[in-house]
A and B are shown apart, each in its own frame.
Chain A
Amino acid sequence: MNGLAVLIPIALGLGLLGLAAFFWSLRRGQFDDLDGAALRIFVEDEEETSP
């Protein structure tokens, strides 16, 4: 029973953490452009010329 008192809050907390992370990324627009994100790794950063 003592183990449960620790493990259940941990399990729920981790789940909530995942849920919060998902909501956060949803609000930050991380899922707005899924195909673009896949392609962006091919984009080379331009040389820093402008301030």
Chain B
Amino acid sequence: MTAAALVERDFAVPDIRCAGCIAKLEQGLVRDRRIASARVNFTEKRVHLSCLPDAEMPDLIGAFTTLGFEAHPIGDALGDADPAAAGSRELLRAVAVAGFAMMNIMLLSVSVWSGATGATRDLFHWLSAMIALPTIAYAGRPFFRSAWRALRHRQTNMDVPISIGVLLASALSLYETATHGPHAYFDGAVMLLFFLLCGRWLDSVMRDRARGGITALLRNMGTGAMVLGDNGKTRWIDATALEPGMVMLVAAGERLAADGAVVRGSSRLDLSLLTGESAPQSVRPDDRVHAGTLNLDAPVEVKVSAVGADTALADIARLMGEAAQGKSHYVRIADRAARLYAPAVHALALLAFVGWMIVGAGWHHSLLIAVAVLIITCPCALGLAVPAAQIVAAGELMRVGVLVKDGSALERLAEVDRAMIDKTGTLTLGRPEARDLERLDPHVQSLALALAQASRHPLSEALTRGLQVLDVSRADVHTIRETPGFGVEAKWGDRVVTLGRPSDPIEGDALATQLSIDGALVATIRFADRLRPDARAAIDALRSDGIDVSILSGDRAAAVAPVARELGMTAQTGMSPQDKLAALARQSVTHKVLMIGDGLNDGPALAAGHASMAPGSASDVGKNASDCIFLGDRLMPIVATLRMARRTQAIVRQNFALAIGYNVIAVPLAFLGYVTPLVAALAMSGSSLLVVGNAMRLKRAIR
């Protein structure tokens, strides 16, 4: 086998849970001749494959399936260029360099503090300078860059006082060193950078971690379709390579990869991700169908009419772009604090300088004191106060299955006082659930399970799930055969049992399947979308937290009314994406609105909401647009997230109070000239530890 011909592919495999899974995947996958090597990344729930170029996507996914894992290909575009991950790696390098420099300078400084004088002290100061100056030039770049950007736009942020403080302190220390002075603040300057870089790095790690989780959830990314070639053969084509005019073969249970028109076959499509409509739509040849809809019944052939940017998605994407612009005006709490803090600090330092000049201390001594004030007030604890609390909170939330995209999302979630919820897929599970299964005879139940397990059809899977919950054992059937579009047939002893689509249309357009023995109808099983199990409790909890909740649904009023009644909520129905956006905008005038939704049609509203959440089953658009994603069938994580966000905000405020309290004590000391480099080092590390310790209290805040 030639190594040069290998292709690298990444897969998201959400079900990797233990060491056994790692062994099974890494050792099982390479048994396929076309897979040269497999490497599991457990943290990101990914598998990296090196395979021969003739290994097609469905075969690779099949290789995962035979091992019992569900795999989703991750697009190449995402894999190689990953600027955010590179950013946090650069920060980590800066942290390491600053940490190394800080320890060595501290080593030298301790000798100076403990009484080194004369030539020894000068030597140590020069050594410190030689370590500190390159470190500041390297590790300080993130702050200098950001401060410069802010100043150019005539704004100020946290990085402005940091940069001025660090630069001034090192310049003065260099002067001190050159003139054999007793005080050099190199240790203070580098330590400041180290603590602040830690905060910065924590912030970016948090974003990376959530992004990794979300990538694993984006199932439509990198999908494609089986395309019918001229010679009647089918081959797999990635969604990005689909072209208008191609004919896709869409099996039952598959999502459409592109817009198009049906050319052969008839089926029913689940539009819930697209429009919020809960009832399936029947399609026949010549009907137009949209990307992202789920084929429920029978295989159909679809002629592709538009791909990528031309699809119905493009309209929604445009709306979302407009909606998201409003949100970019949000200013994070640390920067808001800095707007007050920076001028105050600079005024204080200037005051100290001028004051000592007036008293007649000479410009050198006055400058020394001004620098001490700058260093002591530098927002070391402030820089850690926010990210430390937020990363602990995000880690806790991740434990209960909530992914928070970044720190600002937590800040915005804490301010929310109204919530608007989509119905289909958000309040409800968004998938068909078999109803009244417990009323069936036990032998019917076990027959149904045996047949349903043999099929990958969405309704069969729903039936299997429902029956397994009831603890049904499967009947002993043999010679199972599945006919696409009709159902499953098998022998039970010498009798023929079938499970399949109803022979004549059921009233309404409800989904149903029928079980017959020897051609005689035994049972009709109906399917319906169901409320999430704890919807009522979650809505009540939101209300008791002072958050008003209402429904925004794209579904018909008749379908929404029962849900609204059961939960005691007001509802607006039949809404288009524009309508949802407008409803949200009306509320946003007086309230901070949380939008919770899953569908493509919720995308613009999710982007426009002050904060937004989506369930893990949401459309890719929904997941990308929201701040926060909760996994699983339960709604309670929404409540947990909001409470956690509020607690985090409380801790952040406490941290600010601690930092300010520390300044109230330390600044007068600095003003009076008592702050030597030793005192500055002690004060700085002490306040940082205090703030981080306070943030750790958020751990185990969710029972």
Contacts and interface: CB of A to CB of B under 8 A. Distances in A.
A6 interface: no
| Residue from B92, B100, B120 with most neighbouring chain A CB atoms (10 Å) | B100
B27 interface: yes
A42 B19 contact: yes
B83 to A, nearest CB: 17
Contacts of A35: 42-43
B538 to A, nearest CB: 30
A36 B44 CA distance: 9
B19 A32 contact: no
A22 B95 CA distance: 11
Contacts of A12: 104, 131
B40 A36 contact: yes
A22 B96 CA distance: 8
Nearest to B104: A15
Nearest to A19: B100
A36 B43 contact: yes
A40 interface: yes
A15 B100 contact: yes
Interface string B85-129: 000010011001100100110010000000000001001000100
B44 A33 contact: yes
B22 A32 contact: no
A43 B19 contact: yes
Given A11-B107, A43-B19, A33 B41 contact: yes
B18 interface: yes
| Residue from A8, A11, A39 with most neighbouring chain B CB atoms (10 Å) | A39
B23 interface: yes
A46 B89 contact: no
Contacts of B120: 1, 4
Contact of B41 (A26, A32, A50): A32
Interface in B365-398: none
B535 to A, nearest CB: 33
A33 B22 CA distance: 12
Contacts of A40: 19, 22
Interface in B62-102: 89, 92-93, 96-97, 100
Contact of B43 (A11, A33, A41, A44): A33
A42 B19 CA distance: 6
A35 to B, nearest CB: 5
Contacts of A32: 41, 43
Nearest to B21: A39
B42 A46 contact: no
A32 B44 CA distance: 9
A16 B43 contact: no
B27 A34 contact: no
Interface string A17-43: 011001100100000111110011111
Contact of A26 (B19, B22, B92): B92
Contact of B22 (A1, A15, A22, A36): A36
A42 to B, nearest CB: 4
Contacts of A44: 23
**Secondary structure dominating the interface of A:** helix
B42 A11 contact: no
Contacts of A42: 19-20
Given A19-B96, A35-B43, A39-B42, A8 B127 contact: yes
A19 B93 CA distance: 9
Contacts of B93: 23, 26
| Residue from A1, A11, A33, A41 with most neighbouring chain B CB atoms (10 Å) | A33
Given A1-B120, A15-B104, A26 B23 contact: no
Contacts of A43: 19, 22-23, 26
B96 A23 contact: yes
Contacts of B27: 46
Contacts of B103: 15
A47 to B, nearest CB: 10
Contacts of A11: 104, 107
Interface in B411-470: none
Contacts of B20: 42
Given A15-B103, A16-B100, A18-B100, A36 B41 contact: yes
Interface in B128-162: 131
Nearest to A36: B42
Nearest to A46: B27
A8 B42 CA distance: 42
A25 B403 CA distance: 28
Nearest to A37: B42
B103 to A, nearest CB: 6
B97 A19 contact: yes
Contacts of A19: 96-97, 100
Contacts of B26: 43
A46 B27 CA distance: 7
A11 B127 CA distance: 12
A8 B116 CA distance: 15
Nearest to A44: B23
Given A15-B103, A26-B89, A40-B19, A33 B42 contact: yes
Contacts of B42: 33, 35-36, 39
A5 to B, nearest CB: 10
A13 to B, nearest CB: 11
Nearest to B42: A36
Contacts of B89: 26
A15 B99 CA distance: 10
Given A26-B89, A33-B44, A46-B27, A39 B19 contact: yes
B39 to A, nearest CB: 9
A21 B366 CA distance: 43
Interface of A: 1, 4, 8, 11-12, 15-16, 18-19, 22-23, 26, 32-36, 39-44, 46, 50
15 contacts: A4-B120, A4-B123, A12-B131, A19-B100, A26-B89, A32-B43, A33-B40, A33-B41, A33-B44, A35-B43, A36-B22, A36-B40, A36-B43, A43-B23, A43-B26
Closest 6 CB pairs of A and B: A36-B42, A42-B19, A39-B19, A43-B23, A19-B100, A33-B41
Given A33-B40, A35-B42, A36-B40, 7 more contacts: A4-B120, A26-B92, A33-B41, A33-B42, A35-B43, A40-B19, A43-B19
